[in-house]
A = this chain, B = another copy of it.
Amino acid sequence: MTFDRKLTIDADAFFDDRLGTSGVPRASVAALAPRLTVLRERLDAWRRGDAPSYFGLPFAGEEKEFTRRAREFAGRFARTIVFGIGGSSLGGEMLVRILGGRRHPVTFYDNVDPTTLAELDRVDWRETLLIVISKSGTTAETLAQLLTVLPALEASLGANKLRQHILAVTESPQGDLARIASALGCEVLHHPAVGGRYSVLSVVGLLPAALAGVDIEALLAGARDMATRCLAPKLESNPALFQAATQYLHAERGRTLCVQLAYADRLRPITRWYRQLLAESVGKIDASGSPRGLTPIDAHGTTDQHSQLQLYLEGPDDKQFTLLYDPTLATRGLRVDARFAELPAVAPLSGHTTGELFHAEFRATRETLTRRKRPNRTLSLGADASALGELIILLETETVALAELLGVDAFDQPAVEEGKQLTRDYLRSG
Contacts and interface: CB of A to CB of B under 8 A. Distances in A.
Interface in A273-324: 275-276, 279-280, 282-285, 291-293, 295, 297, 300-303, 305-319
A360 B419 CA distance: 10
Contact of A365 (B180, B334, B336, B419): B419
Contacts of A310: 279-280, 283-284, 413-416
A140 interface: yes
Interface in A173-199: 176, 179-180, 183, 196
A427 B352 contact: yes
Contacts of A279: 307-308, 310-311, 315
Given A140-B345, A143-B345, A318-B256, A114 B427 contact: no
Contact of A422 (B266, B339, B349, B368): B368
A8 interface: no
Contact of A112 (B137, B179, B354, B423): B354
Interface in A415-430: 415-416, 418-420, 422-428
Interface of A: 85-87, 90, 110-118, 137-141, 143-145, 147-151, 176, 179-180, 183, 196, 256-257, 264-266, 275-276, 279-280, 282-285, 291-293, 295, 297, 300-303, 305-319, 329, 332-337, 339-340, 343-346, 348-350, 352-361, 363-365, 367-368, 371-372, 413-416, 418-420, 422-428
14 contacts: A85-B302, A85-B303, A85-B306, A114-B358, A138-B344, A140-B361, A141-B306, A144-B354, A282-B315, A285-B314, A291-B314, A357-B427, A364-B425, A364-B426
B147 A344 contact: no
B371 A329 contact: no
A364 B319 CA distance: 31
A283 B311 CA distance: 4
A266 B115 contact: yes
Given A113-B264, A310-B415, A315 B295 contact: yes
Nearest to A343: B176
Contacts of A87: 306
A340 B283 contact: no
Given A360-B423, A423-B364, A427-B348, A86 B295 contact: no
